[in-house]
Amino acid sequence: MTKPVTVLAALAAVAYAAVGILSITVWEPMAAMPGLSHDEIVAGIAAGGESHSAGATAAVVCLAPGAIAAVALAALAIAGRMRPLTATVWILGIVALGPIAYFWAGFPMGMAVADAFLIGGASRTPVPYALAAVSALAVALVVILCVADARGRLRAAAPVTE
């Protein structure tokens, strides 16, 4: 495992968080209320006695820590304080847990839009499904990397017979 792979994993975690935050704060509300601008939706949420900023804050509070942790892990690997493989597996683990963070991050905004406009709070974009697919891929990569590392360690530890 190389440091550039760890950096790519960290970038994926940051992109995951950014897409999640944009989805929750902009794309989902606009998909729920087609024909309205984002400003009109924010005004409608406020008129309904709800808070767009509380939903946006929840999105950032739930999703940004994973991105920050991923960058910190990559920095540790680059500085030689952690094996790149270890950092990469931890970062992919963060991405794998993304759907849980996304659900909690999106719940306040979904409820604010649903309550303000008297609609259902379900997702209306493919973004959550795409993020879930990325998370599933992260799980598969963790398994592959761990199995490959274990096999390499076993080979290295095996006695030479001649």
Residue 71 pLDDT level (bands cut at 50, 70, 90): very high
**For residues 100 and 106, what is the distance between their CA atoms, to the nearest angstrom?**
10
Q: What is the pTM of this model?
A: 0.92
**For residues 41 and 49, what is the distance between their CA atoms, to the nearest angstrom?**
13
What are the boundaries of each domain within the chain? Answer: 3-157
Place of tokens 């968080």: 17
**For residues 4 and 9, what is the distance between their CA atoms, to the nearest angstrom?**
9
Give mean pLDDT, residues 27-38: 96
